[in-house]
């Protein structure tokens, strides 16, 4: 069974793309077959893997039914492939009604595709528009990167309201996991935010905290993940541990914090 996971948070800059790129590479290193969909028209995920071509097509044409998803796959590392955003993805959000329901484009495009994959991750844009709706309708699982600052908490109720709305409409519940993505242990607010998150998401926060480091901010400019840019760094270790947490469902509890 292929697990399909949407990486969502309507707030920008919280570490969605960083988490997607590095977690997916760590899972691929563990031998899992992983496909990542760059669902943000900005195309930063592709850049993170060193793909800099601007006239790529990708998930855009698959949503528009001009290509199949499998035709749009680009191998980037061993066991890891990406479906780029494509230059028309930004138009999809503004698409006029074409007759078919617009929220199910991704779900339909994925049907019967990539069945040999262990995981399909969808790196969603920072919005709550049509693309995110497509991401939520196509998946059973969501992974929410949370930066540990006060403003991150402000967006949380909006995010959870969105998720609840989709759960109600789809008549099913998501498996929800949270990643603490930009943790600064020297800041008291980080610990305070983490405690609040623990009470909101009992047994849903993955055990490993991703710390804020200069290396993690640097590696996309070299088109490398942290596992390549600095494989022995603590950030590489964070992501390897996070990959194991994800596979084994290891979560934080109030007492191991
Ligand atoms: N743990 C981290 N340490 C240092 N920089 C980070 C970390 N996580 C993300 N960043 C940086 O913060 C910025 C926003 O992160 P990004 O993953 O693109 O967020 P999003 O996809 O949610 O908008 C990027 O410049 C990225 O390199
Ligand atoms: Mg992003």
Ligand nearest to the CA of residue 217, numbered in listed order? 1
* pLDDT the model gives residue 255: 62
The pLDDT value given to residue 42: 93
Q: Which residues contact 231 (CB under 8 A, 6 or more apart)?
A: none
pTM equals 0.96
Residue 226 token pair: 């942290």
Would you say the CB of residue 12 lies under 6 angstroms from ligand 1? yes
Can you spell out the DSSP letters for 186-210?
T-HHHHHHHHHHHHHSTTTBBSPPP
Atom of ligand 1 nearest to the CA of 126: 23
pLDDT value of residue 253: 85
What pLDDT score was predicted for residue 218?
97
CA distance linking residue 136 with residue 58, whole number of Å: 19
Which pLDDT does position 5 carry in this prediction? 98
Query: Tokens for 247?
Result: 């596979």
Confidence (pLDDT) at 43: 93
Low-confidence ranges of the chain (pLDDT < 70): 96-100, 255-257
- d(CA 191, CA 257) in angstroms, rounded, equals 9
Q: Which CATH class is domain 3-248?
A: alpha beta
Going by alpha carbons, the residue nearest to atom 16 of ligand 1 is: 15
Nearest CA to ligand 1 atom 2: 212
What's the pLDDT score for residue 98?
A: 57
b/e per residue 161-173 (b: at least 16 CB within 10 A): ebbeebeeeeeee
Q: How far is the CA of 80 from the centre of ligand 2 (A)?
A: 18
State residue 97's pLDDT score.
Answer: 57
Sheet containing strand 3-7, edge to edge, reads 74-77, 80-83, 34-38, 119-123, 3-7, 141-146, 175-180
DSSP secondary structure code for residue 14 in this structure = S
Ligand 1 pocket, residue 11 CB under 6 Å: no
**Model pLDDT, residue 188:** 87
């Amino acid at each position: 069974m292929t697990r399909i996971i949407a990486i969502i948070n309507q707030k920008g800059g919280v570490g969605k793309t960083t988490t997607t790129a590095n977690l997916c590479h760590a899972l691929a290193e563990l031998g899992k077959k992983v496909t990542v969909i760059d669902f943000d028209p900005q195309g930063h995920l592709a850049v993170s893997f060193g793909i800099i071509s601007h006239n790529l097509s990708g998930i855009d044409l698959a949503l528009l039914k001009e290509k199949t998803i499998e035709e749009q796959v680009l191998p980037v590392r061993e066991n890891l492939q990406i479906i780029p955003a494509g230059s028309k993805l930004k138009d999809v959000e503004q698409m006029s009604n074409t007759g078919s329901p617009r929220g199910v484009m991704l779900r339909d495009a994925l049907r019967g595709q990539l069945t040999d994959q262990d995981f399909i991750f969808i790196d969603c844009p920072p919005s709550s528009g049509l693309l995110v709706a497509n991401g939520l309708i196509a998946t059973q699982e969501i992974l929410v990167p949370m930066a540990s600052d006060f403003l991150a908490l402000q967006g949380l109720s909006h995010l959870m309201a969105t998720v609840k709305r989709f759960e109600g409409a789809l008549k099913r519940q998501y498996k929800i996991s949270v990643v603490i993505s930009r943790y600064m242990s020297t800041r008291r607010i980080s610990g305070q935010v983490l405690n609040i998150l623990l009470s909101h998401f009992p047994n849903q926060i993955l055990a490993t905290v991703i710390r804020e480091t200069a290396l993690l901010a640097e590696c996309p400019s070299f088109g490398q993940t942290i596992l390549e840019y600095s494989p022995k760094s603590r950030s590489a270790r964070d992501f390897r541990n996070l990959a194991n947490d994800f596979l084994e469902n290891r979560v934080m509890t109030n007492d191991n914090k």
